[in-house]
Amino acid sequence: MCGIVGYIGHRQAAPILIEGLRRLEYRGYDSAGLAIYNTEGLKILRSVGKISALAQLVNSAAPDGTFGLGHTRWATHGRPSENNAHPHQVNGLAVVHNGIIENYTELKSRLTQRGRAFASETDTEVIAHLIDIELQSIPDLYQAVRQALAQVEGTYAIAVISQAHPDYFVVAKNFSPLIIGLGDGENFVASDIPALLPFTRRIITLKEFEIARIYRDRVELFDLRTGQPIASPPQTVSLSLQAAEKAGHKHFMHKEIFEAPKIFTDTFLGRIKRDPPRIIFEELNFPAASISRVLIIACGTSYHAGLVGRHYFEEIAGLPAQVEYASEFRYRRSVVLPGDLAIFISQSGETADTLAALKEIRARGLRTLAICNVMDSSIARAAEQVIYTRAGVEIGVASTKAFIAQVEVLLLLALHLAFERRRLDSAGLSGFIDQIYRLPAILERQLTAEETVKNLAARFIHSHDFIYMGRGLNYPIALEGALKLKEISYIHAEGYPAGEMKHGPIALIDEQVPVMALATRGSQLKKIISNLMEAKSRGGIIVGLVSRGDSETRALLDYALEVEDVDEYFQPFVNTVPLQLFAYFVADLKGTDVDQPRNLAKSVTVE
């Protein structure tokens, strides 16, 4: 969740570090800081709040130097404050860190007994003191970092500079992401690729337990545990810098909602064959017949995608499917079976709980498949096989286009397994493929209703509570719609299966609590109409998604949003778009920070 940027070269470091940190804002943060080295020593600048505050500090202090580190912090140990912000400095060395040191209490106690004084409440400062102690007997920064990290239990991506070692800095990785950027007479490091794109496209992604010395003209990689040199050829990133820009939209989230049709197309291209009909996943190498159950593990929005996927696997592929919160699955004595396929879903590929659950499942011998958006991410590397969603960089903290792509991959995978297991014949598969090809144009038409959604959203900006309800495939979409509203507008919203309303939630309904009912055509439409009428009779204001042309259902609602009439299996895509737009416009009209909502982070890299 924190962001790290480092630079060593011939240019002034401060502007490069600030620019890199700005491109990591999507990760979430509550404070930021820089450490700049020059012949006078280390200059530390830190501030609470937005990077713009740090930039103002930099402009007034004008730190000179071509070597430095930057950091955005998301508090885990110690409240947001200038003292707790990184970098942490001890006797001429500065440390920035992403992760959690699990034995920091024990280490801090030991260091305090040795007379060490602490200036912060963070676990990171412990690392700085450990390195400083090692430097007293090992005048080599690289070796001192290795020895210090050998005492640490937990996760980290770390970067260290020392005024006694002005020719290089040291970085190391265990669990948390870290990427080296290679330039001409200059080199970089960052937590994610977007921070490097303005400066270089040649990168080296650090793997688990790797450590590097980064000089101006070279990078040296080693195994953190053994000290043995490592050869890691650089890769060239093809991602355009413009992909991280807003392209004329007011917010990244708005831009990303409107990318849904393109993303839907990108995700299926090369994976569908029409004649003869086939779903092709070159990434997969397991026989479909060997799978007896699907186990889906995820968090947040990805969990909701998994709930949709459960319907696809059970109803289309005929496979039992179970969906688990990663944070709960890890701590339960769950029963897994030899025929299970464990699927781990994460947009960033860095979600800490999901990654930890993946490692546990692998240790238990199950087959693992990751569905990720970010290439070469930790989850993608840890799984045996990976399917990338191809959604591109998603900057807005609240996931939109990546959710569409995740659900699509799950649908394609279910179709693939159904066909291979002979649950679906060529004619049936061809029918699905035809609908898949039609869907991007349908999503484009859905987006043309933007003004209608905006006008509806304006009616509810003063609401304090919202209930979303759906049945079948629309239940996970109700959950996701409620999550989007609460994430970015700060309106309390909850999603429920419509059939559960009478078992408790209906007690909340009155004229102050609007209900968003997903009432599109399908096998359970009559049931959900009964549920929404129950809510209406209690004074509830009923807002509904209705299929185009369904005037009968529309007449029962106080407010309606029409959606394209599609097969039930494709309703999750069509119904998601107006709910995302509704949440977006409520938040925008309220004036909240849409792209970076409070207390949230794009990549949740700590538990």
Q: What is residue 599's predicted lDDT score, i.e. its pLDDT? A: 85
* Short-list 57, 2, 47, CA closest to 24: 2
Mean pLDDT over the full length of the chain = 92
C-beta separation of 298 from 344 below 8 A: yes
Domains for the chain: give ranges and CATH numbers: 3-243 (3.60.20.10), 246-444 (3.40.50.10490), 449-592 (3.40.50.10490)
pLDDT at 191 over 90: yes
pLDDT at 1 over 80: no
The pLDDT of 199-206, averaged and rounded, is 96
Q: Does residue 7 or residue 374 have the better pLDDT?
A: 7
Question: Model-level pTM greater than 0.75?
Answer: no
Give tens-digit pLDDT for 396-437.
999 999 999 999 999 999 999 999 999 999 999 999 999 999
Integer Cα distance of 14 and 57 in angstroms: 11
Half-sphere exposure of 141 (CA within 13 A, CB side): 24
* 15 CB-near residues (< 8 Å, 6+ apart): none
Q: What is residue 368's predicted lDDT score, i.e. its pLDDT? A: 97
pLDDT at 490 over 70: yes
SS3 readout for 180-243: EEECCCCEEEECCHHHCCCCCCEEEECCCCEEEEEECCCEEEEECCCCCEECCCCEECCCCHHH
Integer Cα distance of 209 and 151 in angstroms: 14
What are phi and psi for residue 343, nearest 5 degrees? -110, 130
* Short-list 280, 261, 260, 262, CA closest to 270: 280
The DSSP bridge pattern shows strands 492-497 and 541-547 to be: unpaired
Other beta carbons within 10 Å of 59? 11
* 32 CB-near residues (< 8 Å, 6+ apart): 21, 46, 47, 50, 51, 53, 54, 70, 71, 72, 73, 85
Give tens-digit pLDDT for 521-532.
998 899 989 888
- Residues 290, 294, 298, CA angle at the centre, nearest 5°? 140
Query: Coil, strand, or helix at residue 524?
Result: coil
Give tens-digit pLDDT for 570-606.
999 999 999 999 999 999 999 999 999 998 877 676 6
Q: What is residue 192's predicted lDDT score, i.e. its pLDDT? A: 87
Cα-Cα-Cα-Cα dihedral sign, residues 359, 362, 364, 366: positive
Active site residue 299: no
Q: What is residue 115's predicted lDDT score, i.e. its pLDDT? A: 94
Q: What is residue 606's predicted lDDT score, i.e. its pLDDT? A: 63
pLDDT at 28 over 90: no
pLDDT grade for 495, boundaries at 50, 70 and 90: very high
Angle at which helix 571-590 crosses helix 450-458, to 10 degrees, equals: 50
Integer Cα distance of 219 and 168 in angstroms: 9
pLDDT grade for 275, boundaries at 50, 70 and 90: confident
Active site residue 536: no
DSSP state, residue 101? B
Of 144-153, 422-431, 493-502, the poorest mean pLDDT is in: 493-502
Q: What is residue 607's predicted lDDT score, i.e. its pLDDT? A: 64
Give tens-digit pLDDT for 440-463.
999 999 999 999 999 999 999 999
Give tens-digit pLDDT for 78-124.
777 899 999 999 999 999 999 888 898 899 999 999 999 999 999 89
pLDDT at 329 over 60: yes
Half-sphere exposure of 514 (CA within 13 A, CB side): 21
Angle at which helix 426-447 crosses helix 571-590, to 10 degrees, equals: 20
pLDDT at 244 over 60: no
Q: What are 350's two structure tokens?
A: 């860095």
Q: What is residue 276's predicted lDDT score, i.e. its pLDDT? A: 92
Give tens-digit pLDDT for 343-379.
999 999 999 999 999 999 999 999 999 999 887 789 9
Please identify which of the residues 50, 108, 486, 602 carries the catalytic annotation: 602
